[in-house]
Amino acid sequence: MRIAQVTGFLGSGKTTFLIEVAKELNSRGLKVATIVNDVGHINVDRKCMEIHGIDTMEISGGCICCEVQGTLTTTVTNIYMSFHPDVILVEPTGVAIPLGLKMAAAETVKKMPKILEQSPIVTFVDALRIDKLMNNVRRLVETQIIEADAVLINKVDAVDEDRLDRVTKMVRELNPEVQLYYGSSRTGKGVKEIADIMVNGTAVIYDLNDAEKRFDRKYGE
C-alpha cells in the first residue's frame, strides 16, 4: 500500500485533480482511498470525493503536518483494515508543508513497515492565481515548492504561455532539481504522469537539517 500526499494552497485544484488521479488509478485496476484533512466543520472535499465513489476518511481538528500528526497513523491503519486499498491519496489543509507531511507519513510507515510506502509529495502551484498568492502568502507557497518532491503547475488550461514560462522560472529558481509537471483537470493533462509517480516514484528522504538549512539560506535567518 502506498501513501501519496499533496500540498498546495486552498483553491489550487487539489481535490478536482485527485479525483481524476483516482479514476486513472481505478482504470489500472488499483483500489484507491482518500484522506482529507480540514480544520473547518463541514468537509466539502470529502463530499466531492464520495460523490465520485472514492472511499474517504477525514481527519479534523488541525493540520496533519503539525497539530494532529499522530492521527494519520490511526486513520491509515483504519483504512487499511476496512478498504485494503493499493493507494491512499492524502489531501491535507492548504497550509500544510511537505516536511511536516513527510514526517507524519514516516512515523506511519515505521508502524507498518512491510505494508506501507511513501510516494513523492506533489505540490500544486496555481498558475491562475500565483501572483495574488505570492503577494499574500509568499512564504508558505515558497516553502511548499522548496520542500516538494514534485511540483505540478496546475490549471494550465486557463493561462497563456508567458505566464506559464514565468511560473516555471519561479519554481525552478526555488527548487532547481524538482520533478516538474503541468496539469489541468479540465483537459486531463498531467493526470497519468502524477498517477505514475504516485504508484512508482519514491519520496526523497532528505536530511532534515539540510532542508532546514536550504530554507534558512533563502530567508537569511
Ligand X SMILES: Nc1nc2c(ncn2[C@@H]2O[C@H](COP(=O)(O)OP(=O)(O)O)[C@@H](O)[C@H]2O)c(=O)[nH]1
- Of 12, 15, 118, 144, the one binding Mg ion by CB under 5 A: 15
Residue 20 touching Mg ion (CB under 5 A): no
Question: What CA–CA distance (Å, rounded) separates 6 from 150?
Answer: 9
Among ligand X, Mg ion, none, residue 186 binds (CB under 5-8 Å by kind) = ligand X
Under 8 Å between Cβ of 179 and 161: no
Q: Least distance in Å: CB of 15 to Mg ion?
A: 3
**Residue among 34 and 69 whose Cβ is closer to Mg ion:** 34
Q: Least distance in Å: CB of 80 to ligand X?
A: 24
Q: Any idea of the CA torsion for 65, 68, 71, 73, to the nearest 10 degrees?
A: 30
| Of residues 173-212, those binding Mg ion (CB under 5 A) | none
Q: Least distance in Å: CB of 198 to ligand X?
A: 16
Q: Least distance in Å: CB of 185 to ligand X?
A: 4
Among Mg ion, ligand X, none, residue 20 binds (CB under 5-8 Å by kind) = none
Q: Note the residues at the interface with ligand X (CB under 6 A).
A: 8, 10-16, 45, 154-155, 157-158, 184-186
Residue 45 touching Mg ion (CB under 5 A): yes
Among ligand X, Mg ion, none, residue 69 binds (CB under 5-8 Å by kind) = none
Question: What CA–CA distance (Å, rounded) separates 219 from 185?
Answer: 34
Question: What CA–CA distance (Å, rounded) separates 39 from 92?
Answer: 10
Taking alpha carbons only, the member of 183, 214, 198, 208 closest to residue 2 is: 198
Footprint of Mg ion (CB under 5 A): 14-15, 45
